[in-house]
Amino acid sequence: MSARNSTPPKTALVVVSDLEALTGFQSALTSRGYVAIIARDLPTALLAITQHYFDVAIVCSRLGEGGDGWPLAGVLHLVFPRAFIAVLSPGDPDVVTFQAAINNGVSEIYDQSRRPADIVGAIAAQSSGGTTSSGETVQ
């Protein structure tokens, strides 16, 4: 028997209330080798945090009746300080959005109207040390 030098797959948490977007993120992450854990609301996301280690988290800033995504991003940053935390926000970020990102340890803000595959591609490039042309970095 030969010993295999394999690394475990990276795990990503996706917290988006829109089912179509959630499916898109799950598919894009899986195709890039991530194990995708999905949640449509704040309570489910909090439960997932207690059960998994996350390398990446993608959180919608507006979770509808399920809560606000900014404090969740902050909790994720505190629990998983080395994780890449991305927040999906409607439209172009303004000063208040940037301040929320800084306060909550967010790695990147993405316009939620972008295709999930494009966002996942940018996250994969940045979390592996590559660069993107998005110009939206909030580090």
Q: Are 104 and 73 in contact (CB under 8 A)?
A: yes
Residue 53 belongs to a domain: yes
Residue 138 belongs to a domain: no
Please give the pLDDT value at position 103: 87
Residue range(s) defining the domain that contains residue 45? 11-126
Please give the pLDDT value at position 81: 95
Residue 110 belongs to a domain: yes
Please give the pLDDT value at position 97: 83
Please give the pLDDT value at position 100: 85
Domain count, the chain: 1
Instruction: Give pTM, 2 decimals.
Output: 0.85
Closest to 39 measured CA to CA, from 47, 51, 31 = 47
Please give the pLDDT value at position 5: 57
Residue 66 belongs to a domain: yes
List of the chain residues with pLDDT < 50? 1-2, 131-139
Residue 49 belongs to a domain: yes
Q: Label residue 61 exposed, middle or buried (CB < 10 Å: 0-12, 13-18, 19+).
A: buried
Please give the pLDDT value at position 2: 46
